[in-house]
């Protein structure tokens, strides 16, 4: 069974390659194959970090939709809190 590497590690290696570091040194340092590094580099250049993580476009879209929903919920809560703060600032019961 082939080794599985964390997307962040792949990204770190790819960035080091893109900065001009010697691939042979990275192969030795991380105990990965030269071929894997070239594949990761190609994947990154073709599709960025999402390609390195192995997620399909539908998985990415689902995550984005979930994050958008969370943002909308938080914005609603913040709006409600702003209204409550304005009400408390006016202190109508103290007049």
Would you state the pLDDT for residue 93?
Answer: 63
- Where helices occur in the chain by DSSP H, the ranges are 7-18, 23-30, 34-53, 57-90
Would you state the pLDDT for residue 90?
Answer: 81
Would you state the pLDDT for residue 20?
Answer: 94
Task: Answer yes or no: is pLDDT of 24 > 90.
Answer: yes
Residues 36, 44 contacting (CB under 8 angstroms):
no
Please report, for the chain, the start and end positions of each structural domain, with discontinuous segments joined by +: 1-54, 62-95
pTM assigned to the model: 0.51
Note the Cα 19 to chain centre separation in Å.
21
Q: For residues 61 and 70, which has the higher predicted lDDT (pLDDT)?
A: 70
Q: What is the C-alpha to C-alpha distance for residues 84 and 51, in angstroms, rounded to an integer? A: 44
Instruction: Count the Cβ atoms, other than its own, within 10 Å of residue 10.
Output: 24
């Amino acid at each position: 069974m082939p080794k599985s590497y964390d997307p962040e590690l792949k990204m770190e290696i790819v960035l080091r390659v893109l900065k001009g570091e010697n691939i042979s040194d990275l192969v030795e340092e991380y105990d990965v194959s030269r071929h894997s590094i070239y594949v990761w580099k190609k994947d990154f250049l073709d599709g960025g970090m999402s390609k390195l993580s192995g997620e399909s476009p539908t998985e990415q879209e689902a995550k984005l939709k979930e994050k958008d929903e969370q943002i909308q919920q938080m914005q609603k809560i913040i709006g409600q809190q702003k209204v409550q703060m304005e009400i408390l600032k006016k202190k109508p019961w103290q007049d």
